[in-house]
Amino acid sequence: MQNTKAAIYAQKAFAKFVINKKLNSIRLLVSFNNTVTQQTANYASGDVCFVTDDLQYKQQALTQAVNNAKATLRTNNIVFTN
């Protein structure tokens, strides 16, 4: 079955922010299946920011990471999970 461009943009992706306790950093994992883990992630950002950074910087960095994931995976439908 061949995917059309509209079908690719309509695919639902699941995302989760993960905190690396050893480095105290935050990264973004995105997967097209329901369970989002490092092994099943279709997109894994690098360390986006640190937990100790100020709120405004974290918000800007995490928004940029989500936008990069949308562009890389070619979808606008990202749902965040716990």
Number of domains in the chain: 1
Q: Are 62 and 45 in contact (CB under 8 A)?
A: no
Is the model's pTM score more than 0.85? no
Local confidence pLDDT in tens for the 82 residues of the chain: 455 555 555 689 999 999 999 999 999 999 998 889 999 999 999 899 999 999 999 999 999 999 999 999 999 999 999 8
* Neighbour tally for 45: CB within 10 Å: 21
Cα–Cα dist 8/81, whole Å: 21
Domain interval for residue 28: 5-80
